Amino acid sequence: MSNDLEYKGYVGSVEFNAEDKRLFGKVLFIDSLLMYNGESVRELEAAFQETVDAYLELCAAKGREPNKSYSGSFNIRIGPDLHRKCAIEAHRRGQTLNEFMTRAAAAACADEHAVSRVEHVHNHHLTVTLQGSGIAETRLVTPQQPTHWEPMNASASAH
């Protein structure tokens, strides 16, 4: 659920002023300050669309590009350990770090409920028979268990 308005690729906020009993908002993610208001949701949405249209008309009349403040490049602070892990994973996949991070960001934005990790785990049932004793023991072995075998029950039944 989103409380934002969208129109022609622009996003606008929806806010409420309890003192004036009015809805208001501003066009987000651009350098220019474009605000609008209304007394109902319908009125606010119409004001938002009128504001975007007027802005685009003004830009066209002045011969300048509409202001969207994203260059496609930004710096992030992820810490040295995660930076190293990402660089190693990118190399393992045959990608540059930039390609790896771009794909990760695109995947995160594509679906907020997307699977973030899939782990393939093998579990095995092992049966060990003690030599010459006829005693057999079966155990579920998972990757978290130690690799050495110690009988769980010295009086295990024979099979």
Max alpha carbon distance in the chain (Å)? 96
Listed by start position, the domains of the chain span: 5-62
Q: What is the per-residue pLDDT for 11?
A: 94
| Three-class SS state of 155 | coil
Q: Please list the pLDDT of the chain residue by residue as tens digits (159 residues).
A: 578 999 999 999 999 999 988 999 999 988 889 999 999 999 999 999 999 999 999 999 999 889 776 778 888 898 999 999 999 999 999 999 999 999 988 888 886 655 556 566 666 666 666 666 667 666 665 655 544 555 555 444 444
> What does the DSSP assignment read for 10-61?
EEE--EEETTTTEEEEEEESSSS--EEEESSHHHHHHHHHHHHHHHHHHHHH
Q: What is the per-residue pLDDT for 154?
A: 45
Looking at domain 5-62, its CATH class is alpha beta
Q: What is the per-residue pLDDT for 76?
A: 87
Q: How far apart are CA 136 and CA 3, in angstroms?
A: 64
Q: What is the per-residue pLDDT for 65?
A: 87
Spatial CA neighbour of 78 closest among 107, 100, 110, 111: 100
Q: What is the per-residue pLDDT for 67?
A: 79
